[in-house]
Structure 1
């Protein structure tokens, strides 16, 4: 079975956690003791119904305030597909959490309160999904029960959203669905309250949306994570290079280059825990052996000989700033990219983005927490990369404060 990673996004009280609770509950993916625990908690708090949001809002502060603060990951499966859900917060001050949760997602569910329509937070989360190259978006118009399941209200919201989304460049597939997470309308089962809606239920769409074409199977990239040298009697001369294929396809006999050294060789064999493979492609974790003895270590990248990535010490990138402390002028940071880590300095802050209007704010000079914008970096060693648009694995990085070891930013290479 294939795997779909998706994230939920939306403003505070739009019903993200309730929607996930409803998905898990209606698809029979929670255990009886979990259900009994949230029933007991709901009763103790005086809720008028079983609060399914408690399935993902696990922190004490989240339960007390009735909001989502941290990213909660939940796993479930149907006969058609396996799913990993990232439930992300709606508050503006938790934008960094949304970026973290969305960074590995194939699809984003953006919730819109049917009573409020498209608001600033809707635009903010759509912009972030677009920035992180999430190509499939479900616009879940929630709380339809509070507007009497009105078709006119739903159609106006869809029109407003599509008008805004037309200014974004990466989202290729927008699917609007009217739902009521509280009552389960159009979540797992089709709603009898909205006979005018002819589209699929949310779960049906999640089971059938095609996301297989998003991996880059053209540019062969293999960042080396570990050199395997058993030195046992059985594997006396074995030398393998372990890692995860970040793009393209590798086959025995392929001519390859090792970067940054530039040495060339051929792929001898491809090993996995379950035996040898005839080919390896993203996102498989494998061990490659080569026909020649070359000095290769962690951080090197194996690529096809005729299709090299960009190698440069000057990087242009969009970043989201995570830290409470603003970025210092010409900040010295550690840059972690694939399996390499190196020193870097911020040579220029180009602009910040006003997420609500998509306007560029030039001359800012620094980043505060949750700010998103463009910077130039100069690194101590060459970075072997592709643009984030071309490859999410080789085009992304994180910045680390060398003093505190805190992750201060996530970046996408332009």
Structure 2
């Protein structure tokens, strides 16, 4: 009886841990770095040691590794990630491979990205949704140009947590001085990019040391966490830094008595009774009801797919955005952005493209301003952007556009550019701010606020002096209390 009772009590923490893991959002991470630094092998080993490889996958891996076993008699772990025929033939990673695994504490989605320069766009794709980057460095060669390129791109994509995995440390005889030298050099690079959250770990992906299990037997001098322990403690990016955002994907009219607006919440939270604004029209309403596929909700947060019912009839269409009245995104016709060119033709100055962000598609003209030199880290003036280039551009829209900055919200601050002739996705981009004719970027810190009745504000914006600069102005409907707070801020 005692043994049975003990077993029952011990089972409860595991159940609670598993439930907590299921209820929380998985940590999304990427592996990046130069060619042959061991990215696929590291993630393959991570999957193997966390028991994420099923029996049939293990049998296939053993078969495909025939003749490729290492000195330890283990299979080629990279084959768990490199699934394309060209990848296996050439022994390189070409496309982004996503895999899922979990520990007792949390679950993970990992993206293995290519190390070759010509596949920079693939790496940027993997980084665009990641919370953390595992940057691999070969302990023998140290930090290379591609290491710097990937660290820079990850930073531009908003990643602020880095794990430096100094791989193949066994091939240096577990040299502590070499590990500390590389760690110091990378931390200087990361600090120059504005990244402060860095964990450096000496690992041997092949032997599994400091990946899931510690490598103290070989490296008694290292007292830090293993890779999986670091990942378990990492934080996920939140879309709560801005107010409520609902890009409308569909208007639902199952009957005359019901009209709802469907989409996935892209930021913040909402509950019945909240005041919202429909952009770009500026119509104000209150939330009457929040409906999902099986029930009526008391609230909705980022990531929830919902149908929003308002308390009055307003004109809402696919591509509009419903937002909180007190925390609205930027609106205008000119924005500044950073983009990664993804097609051989690159970005042509002055050409009109389709820009797609969420469910909204608009015509836009792109004017390149500068290109990042990944060797020096400097931005150089540029009139065009070739494939794989990272550049700063000015976007001019044919009609009113709606964005947050990418730093504030990855969903409402990201976009793709589509070539109208070929329908190819030619670039991915991130909004950095609203463009000013004076050359500045408006992020909300430079402003003139006029608090007026709605009808008077509309008349004022229709006058000739404002009409000519309409794209530089932003009209936000707000309540009296919020208007008083804004005016009080200006007085301070």
TM bin (shorter chain): over 0.9
Q: Could you tell me how far apart the structure 2 residues matched to 1:46 and 1:280 are?
A: 51
Partner of 1:15: 38
TM-score (normalizing by structure 2): 0.80
Range moving further from structure 2, 70-79 or 2-11: 70-79
Q: Could you tell me how far apart the structure 2 residues matched to 1:72 and 1:227 are?
A: 35
Matched, 1:357 2:376: yes
Partner of 2:412: 394
Matched, 1:110 2:130: no
**Structure 2 residue ranges without an equivalent (≥5):** 1-20, 433-492
For residue 354 of structure 2, the aligned residue among 334, 354, 376 is 334
For residue 183 of structure 1, the aligned residue among 207, 215, 218 is 207
**Residues 48-102 of structure 1, C-alpha deviation per residue, up to 9 Å, x if partnerless?**
5410000010011100111000111111222221211111000011000000011
For residue 60 of structure 2, the aligned residue among 37, 41, 44 is 37
Instruction: Give the length in aligned residue pairs.
Output: 406
Change (3 A) 1:386 1:300: same
Deviation at 1:341, TM superposition (A): 0.1
Deviation at 1:45, TM superposition (A): 4.9
Matched, 1:89 2:87: no
Matches within 5 A, 1:64-103: 64-103=89-128
Q: Could you tell me how far apart the structure 1 residues matched to 2:375 and 2:414 are?
A: 24
For residue 334 of structure 2, the aligned residue among 273, 291, 314 is 314
Q: Is the 8 A contact 1:246 1:282 kept in 2?
A: yes
Q: Which has the higher helix share?
A: 2
Deviation at 1:123, TM superposition (A): 0.8
RMSD: 1.4
For residue 301 of structure 1, the aligned residue among 321, 324, 341 is 321
Q: Radius of gyration: which is bigger?
A: 2
Q: Equivalent residue of 1:164, what SS? A: helix
Q: Is the 8 A contact 2:32 2:114 kept in 1?
A: yes
Runs of 4+ with >3 A deviation: 44-49
**Structure 1 residue ranges without an equivalent (≥5):** none
Partner of 2:85: 60
Q: Which has the higher strand share?
A: 1
Matched, 1:377 2:395: yes
Deviation at 1:395, TM superposition (A): 1.0
Deviation at 1:46, TM superposition (A): 6.8
Partner of 1:238: 258
Deviation at 1:238, TM superposition (A): 2.1
**Residues 20-65 of structure 1, C-alpha deviation per residue, up to 9 Å, x if partnerless?**
1101100011012211212112214576541000001001110011
Change (3 A) 1:184 1:47: closer
Range moving further from structure 2, 154-163 or 300-309: 300-309
Deviation at 1:111, TM superposition (A): 0.4
Q: Could you tell me how far apart the structure 1 residues matched to 2:185 and 2:330 are?
A: 40
Q: Equivalent residue of 1:324, what SS? A: coil
Q: Is the 8 A contact 2:131 2:235 kept in 1?
A: no
Matched, 1:404 2:422: yes
